[in-house]
Amino acid sequence: MRSLLFVPGDSDRKIAKGLASAADALILDLEDAVAQDRKQAARALCAEVLSQKPAKLIFVRINAFDTPYAVEDLAAVIRHAPFGVMLPKCNGAADLQRLDLMLETLEVREGIAVGHTKVLPVATETATAVLNLTSGAKLPSRLYGMLWGAEDLAADIGALSNRDAAGNYTPLCQLARNLCLLAAASTGTVPVDAVYTNFRDTEGLRVEAQDAVRDGFTAKAAIHPDQVETINDVFTPSPEACAHARQIVAAFAAAPDSGAVALNGRMLDRPHLRSAHRVLARAGNPAA
């Protein structure tokens, strides 16, 4: 999976546009994108979309546990078996365990295989959440990945901005980003880079996506369909990267008992082989 596109859960037009886009997954948003008096209408529309069994992977972002809407959100959509649920304002393992129990109860009620519904938390929206990324607590097996974000985090701690004068993330936000990446890697789940809010700045998006790929993220969220093409392009391994990865695999295959091999004037060891296999796996089916 490379791209996850947020779409308002109460807009049939934007949902249709999202389904027709090249995004690998849609996030039907019942939280920030939907006004309080539109929550029920959004639930009904998302349930209708899910009932049509779209080919695209669908996550539903429910409202946070500190609102009165989360339980109603889950009850409305789980019966239609979405691929996953996104939990905003996730403060750590306790929230994920709570969601896991709620999902298991609903899956049993609806005759859905327990564990079918994956979970993708927004893992850095509060100071508590960031600190808990290092807790090492046991997490549910249905955990699919972790998305980091800086907008709500800045508001939670009272920061005036999440970027500096040059447009780069502040050190605090970089810390949250890096901890989220490490937490996802340590749990063997998908690390998802934050949205790039200036959807008209294609070059800025490309640079940020390239930085994310370099650092180890394998997907990026989008807030506008026009961002999807750039994200997919950056997160799909290039022919040159694939050719280099195949060279690495071939070099180790030719020396199966060696811990390191020479290639193009460089010494490579087993971690390079693991990275090469990951590149080739992503290239084989980028949307998987």
CB 110, CB 124: distance < 8 Å: no
Q: What percent of the chain has pLDDT over 70?
A: 99
pLDDT of residue 159: 94
Does residue 287 register a pLDDT over 70?
A: no
* Predicted local distance difference test score (pLDDT) of residue 60: 98
How far apart are alpha carbons 253 and 237 in whole angstroms?
22
- Whole-Å CA distances, 151 to 32, 66, 125: 12, 18, 7
Q: Mean pLDDT throughout 270-281?
A: 79
Residue 39 has pLDDT above 90, yes or no: yes
Residues with Cβ within 8 Å of 131's Cβ and at least 6 positions away in sequence, in order, are: none
Provide the β-strand partners of residue 249. Answer: none
What residues contact 170, with CB distance under 8 A and at least 6 apart? 159, 161, 162, 163, 164
Distances (CA, A) of 283 to 105, 114, 145, 236: 37, 31, 20, 6
pLDDT band at 49; cut points 50, 70, 90: very high
Q: Which pLDDT does position 240 carry in this prediction?
A: 82
> Is the model's pLDDT at 61 over the cut of 90?
yes
Look-up of token digits 């799909």:
236
Three-state secondary structure string covering the chain: CCEEEEEECCCHHHHHHHHCCCCCEEEEECCCCCCHHHHHHHHHHHHHHHHCCCCCEEEEECCCCCCCCHHHHHHHHHHHCCCEEEECCCCCHHHHHHHHHHHHHHHHHHCCCCCCCEEEEECCCCHHHHHHCCCCCCCCCCECEEECCCHHHHHHHCCCCCECCCCCECHHHHHHHHHHHHHHHHHCCEEEECCCCCCCCHHHHHHHHHHHHHHCCCEEEECCHHHHHHHHHHHCCCHHHHHHHHHHHHHHHHCCCCCEEEECCEEEEHHHHHHHHHHHHHHHCCCC
Return the CATH number of the domain spanning residue range 3-235.
3.20.20.60
Q: Let me know if 160 is exposed, middle or buried by CB neighbors in 10 A (0-12, 13-18, 19+).
A: exposed
Q: Do residues 150 and 141 lie in contact, with contact meaning Cβ atoms separated by under 8 Å?
A: no
Band of pLDDT at residue 38, cut at 50, 70 and 90: very high
% of the chain residues with pLDDT over 90: 80
- 43: confidence class by pLDDT, cuts 50, 70, 90: very high
Q: Beta partners for 241?
A: none
Report domain extents, the chain.
3-235, 239-284
